[in-house]
Amino acid sequence: MDLFGHIEPAVTNATALDGVRLLKALALPQEAALLADVERVLAAAPLRHMVTPGGFAMSVAMSNCGELGWVTERHGYRYDGWDPLTQQAWPLMPASFAVLSQQAATLAGYPDFVADACLINRYQVGARMGLHQDKNERDFSQPIVSVSLGLTATFQFGGFKRSDKALSFPLYHGDVVVWGGAARLRYHGVLPLKAGMHPALGESRINLTFRKAG
């Protein structure tokens, strides 16, 4: 099967995509359960625009569920078991999230993956995420599983230096990607979300990232 059928052949580079496993539309059969569970989590732990150590509010609104949540504040980034906004534990990881992330990881060759953290990113039109590495987790041999819902994003996938040239490819509603091995420490980001209307999520995109953080 051509796992990257929607990436332009000109930019498809076998080495750059080492460790990346795209599972197109894997989330679609569970779409309704996932969206209902996103709503339940966000009712208990509201989306917020976190502030980076540089002092800027992120354009992406975030929340978390699971044992640990990713947090940035003026004094730095961390994983924390407590939501600084509500001063409560993060909501439990819904079963629909745990099942899908484990299914994806197993398909990608990580049958023992159990996420203890799920970051929920909500993009409205114009929201973006600059090129960065995910380095706050303890064990980089553990993959990250991402689930895209709603409007299509243009994802950027770079090298091991911020200045390395990045590939761009779309992530569609229902796409699940497992980022392991050599992919795990590559720079990546999301271009500003383009205007559009998604039948289930309106003018927005939700991305779930599952991690073994602790």
Q: Give all strands of the β-sheet with 176-179 in edge-to-edge order.
A: 20-23, 176-179, 144-150, 204-211, 117-124, 61-65
Closer to ligand MD3 by CB, 20 or 91: give it. 20
Q: Give the chain's count of helices (H) and strands (E).
A: 2, 14
188 is in an annotated binding site: yes
CA 72 to chain centre: 16
Q: Using the rule CB under 6 A, which residue among 23, 150, 207, 210 binds ligand MD3?
A: 207
Closer to Fe ion by CB, 37 or 134: give it. 134
Q: Given the rule CB under 5 A, which residues bind Fe ion? A: 134
CA separation for the pair 143, 45 (Å, rounded): 25
Per rule CB under 6 A, is residue 209 in the interface with ligand MD3?
yes
CB 123 within 8 A of CB 151: yes
CB 210 within 8 A of CB 118: yes
Per rule CB under 6 A, is residue 64 in the interface with ligand MD3?
no
75 is in an annotated binding site: no
CB of 140 to Fe ion, least distance (A): 13
| Residue at 170: amino acid letter | P
For residues 95-154, which are near ligand MD3 according to CB under 6 A? 119, 121, 129, 134, 144, 146, 153
CB of 28 to ligand MD3, least distance (A): 18
Phi–psi pair at 182, nearest 5 degrees? -70, -20
What is the number of other CB atoms lying within 10 angstroms of the CB of residue 161?
A: 10
CB of 118 to ligand MD3, least distance (A): 10
18 is in an annotated binding site: no
CB of 184 to ligand MD3, least distance (A): 5
Spell out, one character per residue from 176 to 195, where the chain touches ligand MD3: x when CB under 6 A holds, - when not: -x-x---xx-x-x-x-----
**Residue count, binding to ligand MD3 (CB under 6 A):** 16
Instruction: Output the CA torsion sign for 160, 163, 165, 168.
Output: positive
CA neighbor of 75 nearest in space, from 65, 64, 62, 84: 84
Binding region for ligand MD3 (CB under 6 A): 119, 121, 129, 134, 144, 146, 153, 177, 179, 183-184, 186, 188, 190, 207, 209
Indicate the annotated binding residues for Fe cation: 132, 134, 188
